């Protein structure tokens, strides 16, 4: 027996909103993450009513206890006696207004400054940034940048404050994929100002150097260039900073793991055996750097023909099987899709989330599900983690 998202959702149908409707029917349940005996539930009590103020603390605390008891009841029906549960109430912007965990209630005002306020530089190593996640792949051309871009845009569409750093300093693709070509990099008092496009703050080496000339940066130069991009950008406050790494297992991931505290890494892979072998190496590299692999995305998983049938060109499921073997969560399968390629080439990633401009429902659904899984895994990783910096063990 295992507790699933659906068990929790079904149980929450029994929890009533003050309006008389249940929480699920009213759309208040924003996100549920579950893995073994750990779960998190995110609720917005004023969903769909942007002008209504958040309920009083006492009311949220009462509602939180009901949710807590209900979810624990669902867990115990599945044989889980000691569920580790976090219940978060959020406002319309996705900001947490109250968190209940292990019998403790915290509100943003009651947090000690050194706990996890955005200003705390020690949390991630970058002031104002809550979670830094690297997106890597064992080899080029598997869709790593595509996944990083769509992850960032998808998170922003869900109301998160998101930054995207093109860590592929050798072959930056963000200028094209995010549509930055006609824009100029702004610098204010020595700080790089990120471009704000598709709801995401982005920075890329592609807007700082002449991309027509090959970049031949080795070791310390690559290290310095990358660190400057991370540190000299005025990010402001971010929920997620997504870093699109160069392909392979080189200097940049090492620099990254040394200079910031990563919440984890996402490995992108196509289903073929050769791509999987590279992805296994990439995953091994993250682990040797002490960086948790949050999950694997299978890109170019299958193709949907004009006849509506799904064709498994590269052997769908290969990356999923690999993820299972390595014990990593599977974050989802992204189909081969003409719109995804053309929206990438023309810098319109938001179009991937609209069935009218994404060639149908399949792509938006796949991307949204990937974003949901990603959020869930970041939450779970934070629950199970102390705040220690990764230790390097390189042989």
Residues lying near ligand ADP in the complex (CB under 6 A): 137, 140-146, 173, 247, 299-300, 334, 336-337, 340-341, 344
Comparison of 69 and 274: residue with beta carbon closer to ligand ADP: 274
Rounded Cα distance, 38 and 15, in Å: 20
Short-list 77, 89, 75, 83, CA closest to 31: 89
Rounded Cα distance, 48 and 110, in Å: 27
Q: What is the sign of the dihedral through the CA atoms of 263, 269, 273 and 278?
A: negative
Q: Smallest gap, in angstroms, from Cβ of residue 226 to ligand ADP? A: 16
Comparison of 100 and 339: residue with beta carbon closer to ligand ADP: 339
Q: Smallest gap, in angstroms, from Cβ of residue 146 to ligand ADP? A: 3
Q: Smallest gap, in angstroms, from Cβ of residue 173 to ligand ADP? A: 5
Rounded Cα distance, 125 and 180, in Å: 27
Q: Smallest gap, in angstroms, from Cβ of residue 91 to ligand ADP? A: 34
What angle is formed at CA 32 by the lines to CA 30 and CA 35, rounded to 5 degrees? 165
State the greatest distance between any 2 C-alpha atoms of the chain, in Å, as a whole number: 64
Rounded Cα distance, 301 and 297, in Å: 9
Q: Smallest gap, in angstroms, from Cβ of residue 276 to ligand ADP? A: 14
Comparison of 247 and 264: residue with beta carbon closer to ligand ADP: 247
- Strand extents, DSSP E, the chain: 29-35, 38-43, 84-90, 96-101, 104-106, 129-137, 162-166, 186-188, 191-193, 195-197, 200-204, 238-244, 264-269, 293-304, 310-311, 330-336
Determine how many CB atoms are found less than 10 A away from the CB of residue 341: 12
Comparison of 125 and 315: residue with beta carbon closer to ligand ADP: 315
Q: Smallest gap, in angstroms, from Cβ of residue 321 to ligand ADP? A: 19
Comparison of 64 and 347: residue with beta carbon closer to ligand ADP: 347
Q: Smallest gap, in angstroms, from Cβ of residue 129 to ligand ADP? A: 23
Rounded Cα distance, 246 and 256, in Å: 12
SS3 132: strand
Q: What share of the chain is helix, strand, coil (3-state, %, to 5)?
A: 35, 25, 40
Q: Smallest gap, in angstroms, from Cβ of residue 352 to ligand ADP? A: 10
Comparison of 38 and 146: residue with beta carbon closer to ligand ADP: 146
Comparison of 87 and 352: residue with beta carbon closer to ligand ADP: 352
Rounded Cα distance, 71 and 378, in Å: 20
Comparison of 29 and 370: residue with beta carbon closer to ligand ADP: 370
């Amino acid at each position: 027996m295992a507790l699933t998202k659906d068990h929790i959702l079904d149980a929450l149908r029994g929890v009533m909103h003050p309006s008389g409707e249940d929480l699920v029917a009213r759309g208040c349940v924003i996100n549920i993450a579950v893995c073994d005996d750990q779960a998190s539930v995110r609720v917005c009590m004023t969903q769909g009513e942007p002008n209504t103020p958040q309920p009083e603390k006492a009311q949220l605390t009462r509602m939180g206890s009901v949710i807590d008891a209900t979810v624990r009841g669902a867990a115990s029906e599945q044989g889980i006696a000691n569920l580790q549960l976090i219940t978060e109430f959020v406002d319309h912007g996705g900001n947490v207004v109250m968190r209940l965990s292990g019998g403790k209630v915290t509100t943003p005002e009651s947090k000690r400054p050194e706990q996890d306020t955005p200003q705390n530089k020690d949390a991630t190593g970058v002031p104002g940034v809550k979670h830094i996640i690297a997106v890597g792949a064992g080899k080029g051309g598997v869709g790593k940048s595509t996944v990083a871009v769509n992850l960032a845009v998808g998170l922003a569409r869900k109301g998160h404050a998101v930054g995207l750093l093109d860590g592929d300093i050798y072959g930056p693709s963000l200028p094209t994929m995010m549509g930055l070509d006609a824009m100029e990099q702004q610098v204010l008092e020595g700080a790089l100002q990120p471009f704000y496009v598709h709801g995401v703050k982005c920075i890329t080496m592609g807007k700082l150097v002449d991309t027509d000339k090959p970049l031949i940066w080795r070791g310390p130069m690559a290290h310095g260039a990358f660190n400057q991009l991370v540190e000299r950008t005025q990010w402001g406050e971010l929920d997620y900073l997504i870093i699109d790494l160069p392909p392979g297992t080189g200097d940049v991931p090492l620099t990254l793991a040394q200079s910031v505290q990563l919440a984890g890494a996402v490995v992108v892979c196509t289903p073929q055996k050769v791509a999987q072998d590279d992805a296994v190496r990439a995953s091994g590299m993250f682990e040797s750097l002490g960086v948790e692999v949050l999950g694997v995305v299978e890109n170019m998983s299958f193709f949907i023909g004009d006849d509506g049938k799904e064709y498994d060109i590269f052997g769908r499921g290969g990356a999923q099987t690999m993820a299972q073997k390595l014990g990593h969560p599977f974050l989802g399968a992204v189909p081969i899709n003409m719109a995804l390629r053309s929206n990438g080439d023309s810098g319109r990633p938001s179009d991937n989330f609209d069935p009218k401009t994404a060639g149908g429902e399949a792509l938006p659904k796949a991307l949204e599900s990937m974003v949901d899984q990603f959020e869930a895994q970041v939450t779970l990783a934070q629950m199970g983690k102390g705040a220690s910096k990764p230790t390097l063990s390189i042989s």
